[in-house]
Amino acid sequence: MRQFFIILVLLIWFLLGWCYYQNTLSCCAVAETSEAVEAVEEKPVVAAVVEKSRPLLYAWSAEKSIYGDGWNAYRDSIVRGHNENNRLQITGYYRSDEVNNTTFENLGLARANDVSKQFAGKIDSANISLMGKLTDELDGQRTTKFESADFRYLVNSANVKEVDDKALIYFPYNSTRKRNAADVESYLDDVAERVKKSGESVRLVGHTDSLGDNASNQRLGLMRANVIKEYLMSKGVTASKISTSSKGEMQPIDNNNTNAGRAKNRRTELFIN
């Protein structure tokens, strides 16, 4: 009988221990699940903080700009860079799969137009140019906000004028020598530094007015392109990164019947690719 009670006590002790062990496992599992849920709930808060702190963002297929806390300071820093010799170019970017529901040619141009309204009263609209540019889609852009606009000042001086994707460098009449002006050399110095860092290439196309015969103007245009090439090479740009050609008198941009028009036609056009 005594032996029976000992066995019964041991059996009860074993069952109580097993129940305690199972209860402990269940509690730990609940705790781990709770911690995982809390971690998931924190992520949108972090993302919202990052998004709010970025000055200018866009949503997929949307033209409207989303302004973060830093936008006013960012815009004002752009305005401070404006002067009488430059123009603000606003480039809006778009992807091939984005849907354009605007009246603009592309969604990038619509985005550039929308953000340009933020400069009203700060920079005259005549000194702002808008551009839309196709770019590659990056992972996650369809579901998150992303940057899709860029701002830069275009040179707009007496001897150099940037227009969209090219620069016009003007030459004196019947001359193959670029104007030794500070604005020309400053611009070309900036181009040289840019392409040396980025690995981009420069394409130079020489043009003339209509005075003289076509063959002479073809040669003159090429000599003008080569003058710019030599200057860039003197600043460290390798020759293989620069191509030159001539259109002579064949592509005027102004009236060759006036002195002012012929002056605009005597130029080298510079493209960065």
Share of the chain above pLDDT 90, in %: 64
Q: Is the pLDDT of residue 116 over 90?
A: yes
Sign of CA dihedral 148, 153, 156, 160: negative
Amino acid identity at 176? T
Q: What pLDDT, on a 0 to 100 scale, did the predictor assign at position 173?
A: 77
Residue 164 has pLDDT above 90, yes or no: no
> Does the pLDDT value for residue 204 go beyond 80?
yes
pLDDT in the model for residue 165: 82
pLDDT band at 55 (very low <50, low <70, confident <90, very high): very high
Q: Which of 222, 206, 209 is nearest to 261 (CA)?
A: 209
Judged against a pLDDT cut of 80, whether residue 265 lies above it is answered with yes
Q: Of 16, 117, 22, which Cα lies nearest the Cα of 75?
A: 117
Q: Rounded CA gap, 224 and 251, in Å? A: 15
Percentages helix, strand, coil for the chain (3-state, rounded to 5) are 45, 20, 35
Q: What is the pLDDT of residue 171?
A: 87
Among the residue ranges 33-47, 82-96, 222-236, the one predicted with the least confidence is 33-47
**Nearest in space to 185 (alpha carbons), one of 222, 220, 235, 225:** 235
**pLDDT number for residue 36:** 42
For each of the domains in the chain, give its residue range(s) and CATH number, in order of start.
56-154 (3.30.1330.60), 160-272 (3.30.1330.60)
Give residue 156's pLDDT.
83
Q: Tens of pLDDT along 132-151? A: 999 999 999 999 999 999 99
